[in-house]
Structure 1
Amino acid sequence: MTRTVSELMTPHPTVVEVTDTLRAVAQTMATQDIGSLVVAEEGTVVGIVTDRDLVVRGLAEGIGLDAPVGQLATDDLLTVGPDDDVADVVRIMREQAVRRVPVVEGGAAVGVLSIGDLAAELDPSSALADISEAPANN
């Protein structure tokens, strides 16, 4: 039986606007204990930003905390739909070497599918599944 993205995705992703500052985005990540956020422009998904982006493409390059997140967000974005076949999405993620993809319906984010989500469901005895399911470090 074919599995769909909606069965494995993390629903209700946190979405920030392209104009939100890096400081605000970092604070949102810290408050929610998450490492990536979907970036939208007037509600339409246009990118994704990770904690690594903030450090490597932001701080390390001297970009200030008041810069808009749109400046760092990955804009060559792979998105999937909630009804897409998981096997197809896994193949595409592998080919494009991406770790997470926004799940989009009608331009709006409805979820995120990560390799951690996939590991937890498809390979629950793997180290990645264990790490993904573990409580956050404090």
Structure 2
Amino acid sequence: MPTLRDIMTPGLVTVDPQATLKEVATLMLEQDIGAVLVMDGEHPSGIITDRDIVVRAVAYGHDYGTAVTDYTTGSVFTMEADTDVQQAAREMADRQLRRLPVTEGGRVVGMVSLGDLAVRTGGSADETALQGVSQPSADPQ
């Protein structure tokens, strides 16, 4: 059975909490990614997605020089690299996560997305996660 280590994208793009919305958006453009992990030292303090930037900042006309922490989703849920892919898919579904930071010994080493589940597992795990993520949230943002 594959583990998160087998399907994760290694080499995360991260920023510190003082990064601005413009800096993060530029990183997303340059790296062709949709999410950036905000790190407080070695620990993730938040995650920000391209959707967060649009819905939480641009839509309200906020200044692009604002610190990214004003728009991140805090309490980042992570799973260890040796976690079974099916278990991770269930957690992603239950928590309605589209992206899951992967850790090894408590240190962030990669990211798994719904796309990774679909492409790298032959579709076996993505159906579980997609069904959960697609459900309306009890607490919409």
Give the shorter-chain TM-score range: 0.7 to 0.9
Distance 1:46 1:88 in 2: 24
Q: How does 1:1-138 map to 2 (within 5 A)?
A: 2-123=1-122
TM-aligned CA deviation for residue 107 of structure 1? 4.2
**Identity between Structure 1 and Structure 2 (%):** 39
Partners of 1:101 and 1:36 in 2: CA distance: 10
- What CA distance in whole angstroms lies between the structure 1 residues aligned with 2:66 and 2:73? 15
C-alpha deviation, 1:50, in angstroms? 0.6
Q: Which moved more, 1:40-49 or 1:9-18?
A: 40-49
Q: Name the Cα RMSD after superposition.
A: 1.6
TM-score after normalising by structure 2: 0.81
Shift of 1:10: 0.5
- Cα deviation per residue 1:50-104 (whole Å; 9 max; x = unaligned)? 1010100111123211111111111032111111111111001111111111112
Q: 1:11 to 1:95 in 2, by over 3 A?
A: same
What are structure 2's unaligned runs of at least 5 residues?
124-141
- Could you tell me which residue of structure 1 aligns to residue 139 of structure 2? none
- Code of the aligned partner of 1:17: D
User: 2:63, 2:104 → 1: CA distance?
Assistant: 33
- Larger deviation: 70-79 or 13-22? 70-79
Which position in structure 1 is the counterpart of 2:135?
A: none
TM-score normalised by structure 1 residue count? 0.83
User: What amino acid maps onto 1:27 in structure 2?
Assistant: T
CA contact (8 A) 2:44 2:76 kept: no
Deviation at 1:106, TM superposition (A): 4.2
Q: Secondary structure at the match of 1:19?
A: coil
Q: Residue 80 of structure 2 aligns to a residue in which SS? A: coil
Count of aligned pairs between the two proteins: 124
| CA offsets 1:21-50 (integer angstroms, 9 cap, x no match) | 111111111111111111111232111111
Cα distance between partner residues in 2 of 1:84 and 1:57: 32
How far apart, CA to CA, are the structure 2 residues paired with 1:66 and 1:41? 19
Q: Which amino acid aligns with 1:47?
A: G
